[in-house]
Amino acid sequence: MKLIPYTVANKFRAETFIEMQKKGQIATHYCSPEGIVTTSPLYNPNGSYFAIEGISSPDGRVFGKMGHSERIGKGLYKNIYDIAAMNQRIFESGVEYFS
């Protein structure tokens, strides 16, 4: 086995998290099945700081998320073409907001 060192390039700091938390920009977290926020690799596969899964812009108009909630459960890793059947209103809500 060969070990390859690497660096992680980001500007994330605890101060950034605190500021985003104060502004209500932390939208979603990685959680255990019991709903407890966790950094455990079992439920936080990317090792996200503070178990943050999704954030929003300061004005709330832009939402970014890491996980693929449309690819959970039975039929894992299959594309879902009827997103409405998954009851995820993210796109519908966006259209309503800007209409």
DSSP H or E run through 65: strand 63-65
pLDDT classification of 6: cutoffs 50, 70, 90 = very low
**Spatial contact of 53 and 67, defined as CB atoms under 8 Å apart:** yes
Residue 66 CB neighbours (<10 A): 14
Model confidence, pTM? 0.57
Span 29-39, mean pLDDT?
90
Tokens 């709903």 locate to 35
CA 54 – CA 68 distance, rounded (Å): 11
Q: Decide if pLDDT at 53 tops 70.
A: yes
CA 16 – CA 53 distance, rounded (Å): 15
Greatest mean pLDDT among 21-25, 59-63, 74-78, 83-87 lies in 21-25
CA 58 – CA 50 distance, rounded (Å): 19
Cα within 13 Å of Cα(39), Cβ side: 5
